[in-house]
Amino acid sequence: MFGGARSKRFVVGSLCAMGLLGASCAPETRLEGRNGRSVEFWTMQLRPSFDDYIGGVLREWERQHPGVTVRWVDLPASEIESKTLTAIASGQSPDLVNLNPMFANKLATAGALKKLVIPPADRQLYYEAAWQANTVRGAVVGVPWYLSTTVTFYNRELWRRFDLPDGKWPTNYAELAQVATQIRERSGKTAYAFMPHFGDRGKFMEELALDGVPLLGTDQSRAGFDNQKAQRTLRFWSDLLTSGTLPREGLTQGHREAIDRFQGSQTVLFPAGPQFLKMIKQNAPGLYANIAVGPQIAGESGDVGVAVMNVVIPTGSKEPELAYDLARFVTNDANQLAFARLVPILPSTIRAARQMATDLANAQTLEQQAHRIGLEQLERARLLVQPLPHQSELAKSLDDALARVVLGIQEPSTSLKQAADEWQQILARP
């Protein structure tokens, strides 16, 4: 049965199979490296919309760096964090990655990002808030790319239907609560003013900051929100949710749900970055024709928050100098201005942002108006939540504090006290 010739054939076959298996497990060869140096650049959900723009920027950079090629990889926003993590952990790190500061903070805390030394002359080209979002434990770990401030979109048809005066948008949270109550009553409880999204980690932390509540105490080792001001904020949101003025599933749902509800004309207003108009225009063109745009509705502090997208260099990068050079090139004035002319994002360099504001002085279209409002707000915007150690856990602790009150389990004072105790334990960890 196991004749010699057949066995030999079998052994040879097995070895071939093992060889194939081994070959398939070998690390991917970066072909670019054979001819010269290469830089791998990962971006977040920019293809195919910006193929021409990003491709053009990268080709220009390659032209300025003969012998160096850029391998551009674009990943969906929902996957970029896990892919970055697994790539770094497996030693296949990209050289430059486009990330949000919250995840960059996690990577930096774990020592996976290069600390950058930014010359003062370079630093002052960008908005200071953008650098703050990239500063973890005193070290700069990323270069700011594009920014966003929140504007408010209004469904004018619904706004008028619920007897609200056209163009008289709420300017602060007190007015917003009145509007929300009126909408709920006049709609016969079929519509809501808007969809809160406390299911997004850190959202309640932002609301506290918008009301001017300090998150950390003066010594930075304990919570700063165990006070009446924070209790007021907590009470404000829990009252809106428990009374049914705003949908209670706002406790567990994210921003995606808020977009869907607005696009489905189930909510009257939608706070978001100007760039979301593009999505609404595509998904709900009928609604788009009826949208008006206003500034961010302010909390007690009157502050405007800024959201930051950055580019970071993992410590596993084999070409950190080239990666930094590429990061500065992608985020320079000219390239950011060109990008902002394509899509209503806000440049992180001051000169490009001001040039863009000049370009939009006579804003005509809805997108231009939203873009202009976003840019005007940028001049006074601040980073609402500084990168914190163990930020996800701290944020969850505050999310739970809100949930306990909304669900009637605790009073605001007790719930915030519990969260403050949890913060102290979390902050004490290395």
Partner 1 sequence: MAANTGTALNGALHQQVRTGRFTHVLAPYLYLLPAWIILVLFLLGPLGYAFYLSLTAYNGLTPPKWVGLANYGHLLHDSIFWKSLGNTVIFLLGVVPTLVIASLLLAVLVNRTIFGIGLFRVAFYMPVVISMVAAGLMWKWIFAENGLLNYVLSGVFPWLADAPIPWLSRPETALAAVMVVTVWKGLGYYMVIYLAGLQTIPNDLYESAALDGASAWQQTWRITVPMMWPSITFVAIVSSISALKSFTEMYVMTKGGPLDASTTVVYYLYQQSFDYLNMGYANAVGMVLFVLILAFSILNLRAFENSSPQG
User: Site residues (CB under 8 A) for partner 1?
Assistant: 2, 4, 7, 10-11, 14, 17-18, 21, 25, 81-82, 85, 88-89, 106-107, 110-112, 189-192, 199, 201, 244, 247-254, 257, 266, 390, 392-393, 399-400, 403-404, 406-407, 409
* Residue 90 vs 124, nearer CB to partner 1: 90
Amino acid 371 reads H
* Residue 111 vs 285, nearer CB to partner 1: 111
CB of 248 to partner 1, least distance (A): 4
Cα 218 from chain centre: 27
Euclidean distance between CA atoms 391 and 386, whole angstroms: 10
* Residue 2 vs 218, nearer CB to partner 1: 2
* Residue 304 vs 385, nearer CB to partner 1: 385
CB of 185 to partner 1, least distance (A): 12
CB of 405 to partner 1, least distance (A): 11
What is the sign of the dihedral through the CA atoms of 178, 183, 186 and 189?
A: negative
CB of 334 to partner 1, least distance (A): 35
For residue 382, give the nearest of 70, 136, 165, 129 by alpha carbon: 129
* Residue 85 vs 343, nearer CB to partner 1: 85
CB of 106 to partner 1, least distance (A): 6
CB of 159 to partner 1, least distance (A): 18
* Residue 64 vs 252, nearer CB to partner 1: 252
CB of 295 to partner 1, least distance (A): 28
* Residue 297 vs 403, nearer CB to partner 1: 403
CB of 260 to partner 1, least distance (A): 8
* Residue 255 vs 351, nearer CB to partner 1: 255
